[in-house]
Amino acid sequence: MKIFDIKKLDTALGLLNERLLLADAPEVKLVVCGGSALIATGLVLRTTQDVDVLARLDGIGLVDPEPMPEYLVNAAEATGRSLGLPEDWLNCGPVDLFRMGLPPGLHERLACKRIGEKLEVYYISRIDQIFFKLYAAVDRGGYHIDDLLKLVPTSDELLAAARWTMTHDVSEGFRMMLIELLKELGFEDVGSRI
């Protein structure tokens, strides 16, 4: 069930900010990837079912998003109840990407959107979406392939993304599936260079 378009996403994040404000919580800075980031940045027009938190940002830089602070969990739950959202509408699903290593320079490419006094959301860039979408497309296909194609990657971008994905799955099986996918997408030249 795809529940978030740009309007509903803005509403949910705005209410999350209000809940954090009511709780007198510290300021929250979330790094978001996936469908909600594609929607918020206008890179791909579609809907999504959740907000994928890749990391949090604090005074030292990007940090592991788990565990989410209790005040954030409480605010997200209250927001979800108010708007009839699934329990996990705000989640750390992509935490393994953070833990295994992010694409070089991701932090410098983040686009910040201040939601309100207590919430800032940092969306990943187009090139970082290409990295993540290629990785997901190899294993899961489906809408990840659609998103990847809508980002109109160049051969050089896909080569960089392919090399990065192979640091996350070093198996020969993954490499062969990656090469096959690139071939199916019309990038056989990229597959021959990895």
Q: How far apart are CA 106 and CA 177, in angstroms?
A: 25
Q: What is the pLDDT of residue 1?
A: 67
Q: What is the pLDDT of residue 106?
A: 98
Structure tokens at 7: 């309007």
Q: What is the pLDDT of residue 183?
A: 96
Could you tell me the residue ranges of all domains in the chain?
A: 6-124, 127-189
Q: What is the pLDDT of residue 3?
A: 87
Calculate the average pLDDT of the chain. Answer: 96
Q: How far apart are CA 23 and CA 42, in angstroms?
A: 31
Distances in Å between the alpha carbon of 135 and those of 4, 71, 126, 174?
23, 32, 14, 10
Q: In this predicted model, what pLDDT tens digit does every residue of 64-104 receive, in sequence order? A: 999 999 999 999 999 999 999 999 999 999 999 999 999 99
Determine the average pLDDT of the residues in 136-165: 97
Angle at 101 between CA 130 and CA 27, to 5 degrees: 90
